[in-house]
Amino acid sequence: MTPLVAETRCGGHQRVVPRVYTIAVVATISLFLSTLSALAQPTLTVDRDVVTPGAAVIVTIVGNPGDHYALIGSGIGAGAPHAGISLAVGTNFALLASGVLDGSGRVIVNVVPAFLLTTLDRYSIQGATSTTPDFSTMQVTQGRVLRNGDLVGSLPGTIGAPGPPDPEGPPHAAGRYIT
């Protein structure tokens, strides 16, 4: 037997509704609200993953218009916590850019990863947005890994930059063609 719940209707009348329907309505509303919060999750995109040392990468962060943003980077790919959130960068992270998202909810930042004169093969970046400038509560983007273009080409299974053309060989002597 299904348990019943009394539901008040207009005029003080009550109608008995099976508990299953009440649970279904609550579950639907919860799913809708969780979808809305997922839509509010900020995103981070880059124009490329492989970067030549000294070159800039174009990073775009998208979130809620007027929110504060921060872009952080690290040569280590995880381990830093902030505001109860585990970040996708290491504890040695650097603040690369910060400010307020424009009216469209986006910011475009040029970032030069710390590859020049190092042996780093990767550099992790992550964005965060917050309604407060101190980021006491925040939402983070997925972390992204930028790879050092000078080192990626030397990895097994990858294709590096094309090398110089081979020198032309000596001319062949004229001779008889034997079949």
In order, the DSSP letters of 94-162 are: EEEEEEE--TTSEEEEEE--TTTTS---EEEEEEEEESSTT-SS-EEPPPEEEEEHHHHTTSTT-----
pLDDT score at 177? 58
| Cα distance between residue 137 and residue 155, in whole Å | 40
pLDDT at 17 over 60: no
The per-residue pLDDT for range 70-106, each reduced to its tens digit, is 999 999 888 888 888 889 999 999 999 999 999 999 9
| Residue 20, helix vs strand vs coil | helix
Question: What average pLDDT does the structure give for the chain?
Answer: 79
pLDDT score at 33? 43
pLDDT score at 35? 42
Structural tokens at position 116: 């020049």
Tell me if 116 sits within 8 A of 150, measured CB to CB: no
pLDDT score at 118? 85
Structural tokens at position 95: 């603040």
Ranking 5-9, 64-68, 94-98, 137-141 by mean pLDDT, the lowest is 5-9
| Cα distance between residue 63 and residue 127, in whole Å | 10
Residue indicated by tokens 């919060």? 37
Domain boundaries, the chain: 4-32, 43-152
Give the whole-number percent of the chain exceeding pLDDT 90: 48
CATH topology of domain 43-152: S-adenosyl-L-methionine-dependent methyltransferases (2.20.130)
pLDDT at 37 over 50: no
Q: Give the mean pLDDT of 145-171.
A: 70
Q: Which range is most confident: 23-37, 79-93, 155-169?
A: 79-93
Residue indicated by tokens 């273009």? 149
